[in-house]
Amino acid sequence: MLYLLLSISMSLSIIFLFLNHPLSMGLILFLQTIFICMITGFMSLSFWFSYILILIYLGGMLVLFMYITSLASNEMFFYSNNIIFMMVLLFMTFSLIYYMNLNYPMNLYENMENSTISNPMFNNFLLKMYNQSINMITILIAAYLFLTLIAVVKIINIFKGPLRQMN
């Protein structure tokens, strides 16, 4: 499974080089983020870090999408048959490599047993991050960030920002 995710991520990286429309680039970047979060979740045996990573990327992608739609709102989206053909070819190539070498994921898993990620101390660190004594600090930080968000929203003026409409 990990090798298949790595191959899809690699093919998305190659396809990203040939795209020229901002929305298609954003879609590939979002898919790449999802696959990288799944890979880190499978490798660390805990999806906590992956969940935080995808939330941060999603917030950045929403800001990027807002800027792109305000700057290039009427640009037509054309897809090339060459890119679709290359996508299918890359996916078939990586799938063939995956199915020809079925012992690779087992070897990768055996190598992961000696890594620091699968160390029990690492897993205990994740459990200690949100134990009973730190819950109050976590709630305080979340409330502080929420109040900061409300203050920033009240301070900014929508009509004088960088996304105002040009008349």
* Per-residue pLDDT reduced to its tens digit, 6-15: 778 888 888 8
Q: Could you write out the DSSP letters of every residue in 101-140?
A: -TTHHHHHHHHHTTSSTT-HHHHHHHHHHT-TTTHHHHHH
- Going by the DSSP 8-state scheme, the letter that residue 72 receives in this structure is S
CA within 13 Å, CB half, 93: 9
Number of domains in the chain: 1
63 within some domain: yes
pLDDT of res. 15: 82
Average pLDDT across the chain, whole number: 75
Q: What is the pLDDT of residues 156-166, one digit of tens each?
A: 776 766 655 55
149 within some domain: no
155 within some domain: no
pLDDT of res. 147: 93
- Choice between 24 and 102, residue whose per-residue pLDDT is larger: 24
pLDDT of res. 42: 81
| Boundaries of domain holding 69 | 2-119
Are 87 and 15 in contact, with CB atoms under 8 Å apart?
Answer: yes
80 within some domain: yes
Distance CA 33, CA 54 (A): 7
11 within some domain: yes
72 contacts: CB under 8 Å, gap ≥ 6 = 22
36 within some domain: yes
pLDDT of res. 144: 92
pLDDT of res. 44: 74
Average pLDDT over residues 140-161: 83
141: part of which helix (H) or strand (E)? helix 135-155
- Confidence (pTM): 0.58
pLDDT at 40 over 80: yes
pLDDT of res. 67: 79
142 within some domain: no
139 within some domain: no
Going from the C-alpha of 3 to that of each of 41, 76, 98, 104, the distances in angstroms are: 14, 36, 7, 8
pLDDT of res. 142: 87
